Amino acid sequence: MNPKTVAISLVAVVAVMAAVIIVTNLVPRNVADAEEAGPSEVPLRLLGPDGELAPAQNAARLHLNEDEWSKKLTSDQYYILRKAGTERAGTGALLKNKAEGLYVCAACSLPLFDSNTKFESGTGWPSFHTPVAKENVLDKKDVTLGMVRIENVCARCGGHLGHVFSDGPQPTGLRYCMNSESLRFVAKTDLKAEGEKMAKELEKEKSMPKVGDRLPEPELDAELAAATGEATAIFAGGCFWCTEAVFENVDGVTDVVSGYIGGKVKNPSYEAVCTGTTGHAEAIRLKYDPSKVTYGQLLRIHFATHNPTELNKQGPDKGTQYRTALFPTDDEQKNVAAAYIKQLDAAGEFSKSIATTIEPNDTFYVAEEYHQDFANNNPVHGYIRQVSDPKVKKLKEKFPEFLK
Helices vs strands, H then E, count in the chain: 12, 19
Q: Are residues 26 and 97 in the same domain?
A: yes
Q: Are residues 164 and 261 in the same domain?
A: no
Q: Report the CATH number that the domain containing residue 305 is assigned in CATH.
A: 3.30.1060.10
Q: Which of these three, 175, 207, 239, is where a domain ends?
A: 207
How far is the CA of 360 from the CAs of 78, 262, 333, 370, 376, in angstroms? 34, 7, 12, 27, 30
CB 35 within 8 A of CB 310: no
85 vs 297: CA distance, rounded Å: 45
The count of structural domains within the chain is 2
Q: Are residues 49 and 193 in the same domain?
A: yes
Q: Are residues 305 and 372 in the same domain?
A: yes
- Predicted local confidence at residue 210, as pLDDT: 53
Domain assignment of residue 107, yes or no: yes
Backbone angles phi, psi at 330, to 5 degrees: -160, 175
Domain assignment of residue 388, yes or no: yes
Per DSSP, the residues of 59-123 read EE-----HHHHHHHS-HHHHHHHTT---PPTT--TTTT---SEEEEETTT--EEEEGGGEE--SS
C-alpha gyration radius of the chain: 25
**Which positions are annotated as active-site residues?**
177, 239
Q: Are residues 287 and 386 in the same domain?
A: yes
What are the DSSP E strand ranges found in 205-276? 231-237, 253-261
pTM: predicted TM-score of the whole model, two decimal places: 0.55
Q: Are residues 359 and 306 in the same domain?
A: yes
275 vs 351: CA distance, rounded Å: 30
Q: How many residues does the structure list for the chain?
A: 404
Domain assignment of residue 127, yes or no: yes
Domain assignment of residue 311, yes or no: yes
CB 218 within 8 A of CB 343: yes
Q: Are residues 42 and 159 in the same domain?
A: yes
Domain assignment of residue 302, yes or no: yes
State whether residue 219 is helix, strand or coil: coil
Q: Are residues 235 and 359 in the same domain?
A: yes
With b meaning 16 or more CB within 10 Å and e meaning fewer, what string describes 144-159?
Answer: beeeeeebbbbbbbbb
Residue range of the domain that includes 15: 3-207
398 vs 300: CA distance, rounded Å: 11
Q: Report the CATH number that the domain containing residue 110 is assigned in CATH.
A: 2.170.150.20
Domain assignment of residue 155, yes or no: yes
307 vs 211: CA distance, rounded Å: 6
Domain assignment of residue 217, yes or no: no
How do the pLDDT tens digits run along the chain, 404 residues long? Answer: 444 343 434 434 443 344 333 333 333 444 544 443 445 678 999 999 999 999 998 887 887 777 788 889 999 999 999 999 999 999 999 999 999 999 999 999 999 999 999 999 999 999 999 999 999 999 988 878 778 899 999 999 999 999 999 999 999 999 999 999 999 999 999 999 999 998 888 776 665 555 546 789 999 999 999 999 999 999 999 999 999 999 999 999 999 999 999 999 999 999 999 999 999 999 999 999 999 999 999 999 999 999 999 999 987 788 999 999 999 999 999 999 999 999 999 988 887 899 999 999 999 999 999 999 999 999 988 889 878 998 999 899 889 999 99
154 vs 161: CA distance, rounded Å: 7
Domain assignment of residue 223, yes or no: no
Q: Are residues 118 and 181 in the same domain?
A: yes
Q: Are residues 17 and 122 in the same domain?
A: yes
Q: Are residues 192 and 236 in the same domain?
A: no
